[in-house]
Amino acid sequence: MMHGAAARAAIISQLSLLAVGCAPVQNSVPDTTASSTTGAAAVSAAQRAAGWRPLFDGTSTSAWRGYKSQAFPAGWKIVDGVLTKSGSVEDIQTRDQFGNFQLALDWKLSPGGNAGVFYRGTEEYDHIYWSAPEYQLLDDAGHPDGKSRLTSAGADYGLYPSPAGVVKPADQWNSTLIVVNGNTVQHWLNGQKLLEYEIGSADWEAKVKASKFVAYPNYGRAKQGYIAIQGDHDGMLSIRNVRIREIK
């Protein structure tokens, strides 16, 4: 285990590799501390050359729509380049589908806040979380879900736990990275790798069978699908610097 300066040096090294577009796919950490709070400006020329593109540019929601709807749900709004909602609203999802990718975004929640990022979701069920794995967004200290690491910030909701002490307090920005490549999935938070799992492995199958997701035969099995942001919980959620790099 690395400590102190060695750990910081390792993270800085990974960030430097990404800046020139040659970091290993499974271990690269995008620099989520951009100079601007808007998504478009946060994608540097070097990152664009490496295949990154914004999903939210700080001014338009054109890349997003509602679940099973072409309309963008009411209740979401752009304030000073930040996509935000202040109460229970419909989820939003990308218009495009993605298979293998790195997804980076910044997020913050009001005290007691609860949300999530879904990936490889389909529209075959009534709700996207019945098909899509979820990266949990949570105020660990202020929400009851924070009492279990299986439902705390950064967890693969209900299946794989995240370590404590990585998420920042409510009303502070966090930086998330989700890496999906084939059956391998990684969750990162604030520059730290939280967990890794293999879709379809014996361990994954056992965890799904023991969870509420066993009721949905295609849960987590799509090879590509939509990315979605959960909106149907109370409280304020703010999102910025949303960008993606597809893995070819």
**Predicted pLDDT at 42:** 63
Q: What is the pLDDT of residues 219-232, one digit of tens each?
A: 999 999 999 999 99
Mean per-residue pLDDT of the chain: 88
pLDDT at residue 24 greater than cutoff 60: no
CATH fold group of domain 4-246: Jelly Rolls (2.60.120)
Q: Which of 101, 94, 75 is nearest to 233 (CA)?
A: 75
Match 């709070």 to its residue by tokens: 37
- pTM of the predicted model as reported, rounded to 2 decimal places: 0.86
**Nearest CA among 65, 74, 118, 100 for reference residue 228:** 118
Say whether pLDDT at 45 is over 80. Answer: yes
61: left (phi over 0), alpha (psi -120 to 50) or beta: alpha
Query: 16 phi and psi, to 5 degrees?
Result: -65, -40
pLDDT in tens, 62-116: 999 999 999 999 999 999 999 999 999 999 999 999 999 999 999 999 999 999 9
